[in-house]
């Protein structure tokens, strides 16, 4: 990773098309999040949460994992499972502030919105251009 730290990169999964997918992103300043897009509108399922599991040193690799079985998903960073901050109201917004989730922390996301789809990689730069991300060693396994 090179360039500005306001970025996100990771895995897009169960992608039916450019507007319907889930994503699991980390940032080079040590945060992760999970989002879902429906009909081109992306919504955070779990907002950006800080994690010591993310390697933030320049040039240090990060290994991301998404495991999906049916409508249940778990996530990991560098082999460490990470929890999601889900709102108590399904229509609510994920809120994490000052080390606290205003909702429920859970290791498993249950969501049946996208039952199948493709897998891909994603990189985004929020405010500044010139972010460089290198991906390698994509591994897909099936039960």
In a domain, 2, yes or no: no
Q: What φ, ψ does residue 71 adopt, rounded to 5°?
A: -100, 15
Q: What is the pLDDT of residues 51-62, one digit of tens each?
A: 999 999 888 899
In a domain, 141, yes or no: no
Number of domains into which the chain is organized: 1
In a domain, 143, yes or no: no
- The token duo for 72 is 């249940």
> What is residue 103's DSSP assignment?
S
Residues spanned by the domain of 69: 7-125
Question: In this structure, are residues 35 and 23 in contact, taking their beta carbons and an 8 Å threshold?
Answer: yes
Q: What is the pLDDT of residues 6-44, one digit of tens each?
A: 678 999 999 999 999 999 999 989 999 999 999 999 999
User: Can you tell me the distance from the alpha carbon of 101 to that of 8, in angstroms, rounded to the nearest whole number?
Assistant: 21
In a domain, 36, yes or no: yes
User: Can you tell me the distance from the alpha carbon of 52 to that of 109, in angstroms, rounded to the nearest whole number?
Assistant: 21
In a domain, 134, yes or no: no
Cα–Cα nearest to 124, from 42, 9, 3, 5: 9
In a domain, 52, yes or no: yes
In a domain, 130, yes or no: no
Q: What is the pLDDT of residues 95-125, one digit of tens each?
A: 999 999 999 999 999 999 999 999 999 888 7
In a domain, 35, yes or no: yes
What CATH number is attached to the domain comprising 79?
A: 2.60.120.560
């Amino acid at each position: 990773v090179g360039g500005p730290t306001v970025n996100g990169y990771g895995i897009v999964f169960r992608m039916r098309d450019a507007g319907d997918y889930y994503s699991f992103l980390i940032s080079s300043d040590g945060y992760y999040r999970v989002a879902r897009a429906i009909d081109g509108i992306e919504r955070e399922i779990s907002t950006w949460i800080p994690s010591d599991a993310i390697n933030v040193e320049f040039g240090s690799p990060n290994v991301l994992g998404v495991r999906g079985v049916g409508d249940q998903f778990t996530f990991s960073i560098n082999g460490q499972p990470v929890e999601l901050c889900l709102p108590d109201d399904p229509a609510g917004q994920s809120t994490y502030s000052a080390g606290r989730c205003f909702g429920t922390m859970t290791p498993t996301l249950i969501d049946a919105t996208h039952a199948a789809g493709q897998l891909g990689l994603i990189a985004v730069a929020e405010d500044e251009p010139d972010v460089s991300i290198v991906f390698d060693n994509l591994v897909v396994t099936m039960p």
